[in-house]
């Protein structure tokens, strides 16, 4: 047993005027052999030479502010606080040399958050014990692990928990066969290496974290806080970590380790530039193009027309979509998908400001709403044939939003002359309201419902952020800020219980997606496009979304998720 001598390490830190602190922890109490078993990088020298020679930034950086290889990096980066937290929680590899699987899995999780807006918890056990590596605790090389993630993927942690892997003879690891594995595996599309310091910092600034290899000396096990530099002790082995940022002021890399949150600075550490081979001997490894199983987004489909508002959409049955927009004549125009093809355009008349709104409370039933030139709300419905337009009063300064949470029920929302959100509803017998729901809106509201007597409303506030207010069946909530920078009104839809999908136009004219998965908000996810309006959205089945926008040519465009 050879515990790390903390007092001796602290003495060396003072002697060398190093910028870090040491303390005892569970790892410093282990034997030399036990600590070395945690260091699982095995270098293939020929592969390392090839990677360094071929190292270059990923193609994903073609749109970065600077050309590849040119300085284009920020003075400091930390992906725990870079348009949100894109670093998953610190994990513990235990006494197994599986650090390469932990650092590359962490890389995949971070890129899923950055690219897809989804926080994943993936199975290091699946990668380390069920891949070409084999069911053992020996080491690996990051490039080999990333190749397995690209070709084979990684399942979620719940399907194969790391703690459940050590059930073999004497506690040896085993592979667990996961049912329907291919339907659960998360993959990457591209991976590679970065050699120069400039390329590494450009990537961390513009793309995301990287995995890195470091030489671990005995003093490193005692790291507590500060900027680490080697001061004492022999080389114990090589280790793989996730680099989540850097600081030019402190001249250091910021890293996430896999020795549990009780080690280091909550499981993280900072290491000085040029130390332990992190940026001299070994390249950084990157990954992009995360592919998450399940539905996929289509491209954009041009549905023609010449429209002068954002489209609004609703579905009254499986494989049925009805879309409405204002035309050049300020009338409402209608186009619909009947399960076999797109039909229309059909003029429904009227003379409206902004976009119409649409709701459906039964198969074959449509209710549309528009704001007239007198700022009143007007209503027209279809049930075997179209009605005329009828006035519902009010004094409104935005286009309306409408939804139905049950048979013969309609809820309508719009901004009033006081910039508050106002509510009018049909209870099956008569119209009720208007009800003032407060807020200070700088856009039209959006509304969706995921259950009977449930309403979720979304608006752009005076701060241009997304704000949320909901009715839970007995009372209205306060307003909740959900961030983002919106350039127009939001859109919202629900495909099932406790699920909400919100779409907003961003400052780059792309469509962005934020969603509630039943426990937390996820996103924003950039879905591209070049929008000249807000978004309309409908859903005709679970895990089905159809979005519609006006393009720069005033055509209606369609993008769907299935």
Residues carrying an active site annotation: 99, 239, 257
Nearest of 257, 259, 258, 285 to residue 271 by alpha carbon: 257
CA distance 421 to 436: 6
CB 422 within 8 A of CB 435: yes
Pick left, alpha or beta for residue 339 (phi over 0 → left; psi -120 to 50 → alpha; otherwise beta). Answer: left
CA distance 499 to 67: 41
Nearest of 419, 445, 437 to residue 312 by alpha carbon: 445
| Sheet architecture: strand order including 352-359 | 352-359, 366-372, 377-382, 390-393
CB 257 within 8 A of CB 244: no
DSSP output for 254-301:
EEE-SB-TTSTBTTEEEEETTSTTTTTTS-EEEEE--B-SS--B---E
CA distance 57 to 190: 11
CB 104 within 8 A of CB 240: yes
CA distance 241 to 258: 7
CB 316 within 8 A of CB 336: no
Q: Is 501 helix (H, G, I), strand (E, B) or coil?
A: strand
Q: Other C-beta atoms within 10 Å of 556: how many?
A: 25
**Cα-to-chain-centroid distance, residue 496:** 20
177 secondary structure, DSSP code = P
- Backbone phi and psi for residue 311, each to the nearest 5 degrees, phi listed first: -75, 155
Q: How far is CA 293 from CA 112, 153, 245, 562, in A?
A: 12, 10, 28, 11
């Amino acid at each position: 047993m050879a515990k790390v001598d903390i007092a001796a390490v602290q003495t060396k830190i003072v002697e060398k005027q190093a910028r870090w602190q040491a303390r005892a922890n569970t790892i410093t109490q282990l034997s030399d052999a036990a600590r070395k078993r945690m260091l699982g990088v095995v270098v293939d020298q020929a592969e390392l030479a090839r990677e360094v020679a071929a190292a270059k930034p990923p193609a994903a950086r073609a749109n970065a502010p600077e050309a590849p290889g040119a300085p284009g990096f920020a003075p400091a980066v930390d992906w725990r606080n870079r348009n949100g937290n894109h670093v998953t929680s610190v994990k513990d590899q235990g006494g197994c040399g599986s650090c390469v699987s932990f650092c590359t899995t962490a890389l995949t999780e971070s890129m899923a958050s950055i690219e897809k807006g989804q926080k994943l918890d993936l199975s290091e056990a699946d990668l380390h014990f069920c891949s070409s590596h084999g069911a053992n605790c020996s080491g690996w090389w990051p490039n080999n692990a990333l190749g397995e993630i690209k070709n084979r993927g990684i399942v979620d942690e719940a399907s194969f928990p790391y703690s459940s892997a050590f059930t073999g003879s004497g506690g040896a690891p085993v592979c667990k066969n996961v049912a329907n594995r291919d339907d659960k595996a998360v993959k990457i599309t591209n991976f590679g290496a970065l050699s120069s310091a400039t390329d590494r910092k450009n990537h961390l600034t513009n793309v995301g974290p990287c995995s890195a290899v470091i030489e671990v000396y005995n003093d490193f096990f005692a790291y507590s806080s500060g900027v680490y530099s080697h001061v004492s002790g022999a080389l114990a082995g090589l280790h793989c970590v996730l680099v989540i940022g850097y600081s030019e002021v402190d001249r250091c890399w910021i890293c996430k380790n896999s020795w549990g949150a009780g080690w280091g600075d909550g499981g993280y550490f900072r290491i000085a530039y040029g130390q332990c081979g992190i940026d001299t001997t070994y390249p950084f490894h990157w990954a992009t193009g995360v592919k998450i199983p399940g539905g996929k987004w289509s491209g954009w489909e041009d549905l023609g027309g010449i429209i002068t508002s954002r489209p609004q959409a609703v579905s009254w049955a499986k494989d049925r979509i009805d879309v409405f927009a204002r035309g050049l004549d300020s009338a409402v125009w209608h186009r619909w998908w009947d399960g076999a093809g797109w039909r229309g355009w059909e003029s429904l008349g009227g003379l409206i400001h902004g976009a119409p709104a649409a709701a459906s409370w039964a198969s074959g039933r449509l209710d549309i709403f528009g704001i007239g030139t007198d700022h009143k709300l007007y209503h027209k419905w279809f049930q075997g044939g179209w009605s005329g337009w009828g006035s519902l009063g009010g004094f409104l300064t935005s286009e309306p939003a409408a939804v139905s949470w049950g048979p013969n029920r309609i809820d309508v929302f719009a901004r009033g002359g006081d910039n508050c959100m106002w509510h009018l509803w049909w209870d099956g017998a008569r119209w009720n309201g208007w009800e003032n729901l407060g807020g200070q809106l700088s856009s039209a509201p959006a509304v969706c419902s995921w259950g009977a007597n449930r309403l979720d409303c979304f608006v752009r506030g005076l701060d241009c952020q997304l704000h949320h207010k909901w009715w839970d069946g007995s009372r209205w909530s306060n307003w909740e800020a959900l961030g983002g920078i919106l350039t127009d009104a939001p859109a919202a839809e629900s495909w099932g219980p406790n699920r909400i999908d919100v779409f907003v136009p961003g400052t780059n004219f792309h469509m962005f997606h934020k969603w509630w998965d039943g426990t937390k908000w996820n996103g924003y996810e950039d879905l591209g496009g070049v929008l000249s309006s807000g978004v309309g959205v409908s859903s005709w089945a679970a895990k089905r979304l159809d979005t519609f926008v006006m393009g720069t040519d005033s055509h209606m465009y369609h993008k769907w998720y299935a």
